[in-house]
Amino acid sequence: MIDLFKRLTETATRRMDKMQGVPMDLLTRLTKEPLPFATFLGIKIVSAVPDKIVAEMTVRDDLCTRPAVVHGGAVMAFADTLGALGTIANLRDGGRTATIESKTNFISAAPVGSLIVGETTPLHRGRRTMVWQTRVTTADGKLVAVVTQTQLVAGGSEQRSVP
């Protein structure tokens, strides 16, 4: 687990694809070695740049409450994962991150079988903390939740590897 985290947090310029010997782009890096919990949730990263991560997740029955709508904890875990990935995309060499605060406003439900889309963007990217806001919508654009989280940034060199 620690080895996986270490590999994910290596910078795009230093991380080399072993087969081709060229730097991996951010989307490739984040999808090639997914976080185990993201795999469990069924999160699929659609696009990734340092200023925005977009992902999708299908609302499965085992992620629901009664009546068959997505559980708030599943929405929060989805958004938390995206905010963490956004922070990872902006870490300095050797940096690490952990969520230290999260706030969720639930707006509407997403029924079982629906596709939800998360888009996370930074509100603040500092040396010690980063704050990300994630909008979770249904595929047709109906707002499900807005999540704001603070990520602790620890370790790493003084130079940020990705702008």
pLDDT digits (tens, 9 = 90+) for 50-100: 999 999 999 999 999 999 999 999 999 999 999 999 999 999 889 999 999
Q: Are 127 and 106 in contact (CB under 8 A)?
A: no
Report the C-alpha gap between 75 and 107 in whole angstroms: 11
Mean pLDDT, the chain, rounded, equals 87
Pick 34 or 19 by higher pLDDT.
34
Output the CA angle 6-12-13, nearest 5 degrees: 115
- The predicted model scores a pTM of 0.83
Q: What is the mean pLDDT of residues 141-149?
A: 98
| Residue 108, pLDDT score | 98
pLDDT over 60 at 14, yes or no: no
